[in-house]
Amino acid sequence: MDLRLLRFFTAVYEEKNITLAAERCFVSQPSISSAIKQLEQELDTTLFIRHKKGVNLTDEAHYLYPLAIRLLNDVNRLPQLFQQRTECLPLTLANFPDLSQTELANCFALLNQQIPNLLLELVDHNAPADARLTLDMFKA
């Protein structure tokens, strides 16, 4: 299904007028009418009852509207969701000298597995840090 059809549908639904919906969407009135007819054919239903002053909404239009809004909002959010997914989360860890390289490597592997976009920085145990690694953390 073409998302443009749902955008035009929501405009007609909100304006209750095909001409006003066309103006709002910056397309011609016949383009809106054609899109609504196509959507009605795809869904095998009537969404609007047309009359000289606009349209009346059918029960099917009332049913479709919140679904269309949610779908369009989700589609619009996709780029933002992917951007958030790729953003790094910085975490500074203070390392005590008594930790072995193996323990540190295991700790980093576990953190990266749990939080893939984590950006770890290891600093001396006396430096400012978000958290401090101690030998006690690695004892079972």
| DSSP class per residue in 65-132 | HHHHHHHHHHHHHHHHHHHHHHS-EEEEEEE-TTS-HHHHHHHHHHHHHH-TTEEEEEEETTS--SEE
pLDDT classification of 68: cutoffs 50, 70, 90: very high
> pLDDT for 87-129, tens place per residue?
777 888 888 777 777 777 887 888 778 887 788 788 887 888 8
The residue among 77 and 86 whose pLDDT is bigger is: 77
Q: What is the DSSP letter of 50?
A: E
What is the enclosing helix (H) or strand (E) of 64? helix 59-86
Residue type, 24: R
CA 45/CA 11 separation, integer angstroms: 18
Q: Is the dihedral of CA 60, 24, 33, 69 positive or negative?
A: negative
3-class DSSP assignment, residue 7: helix
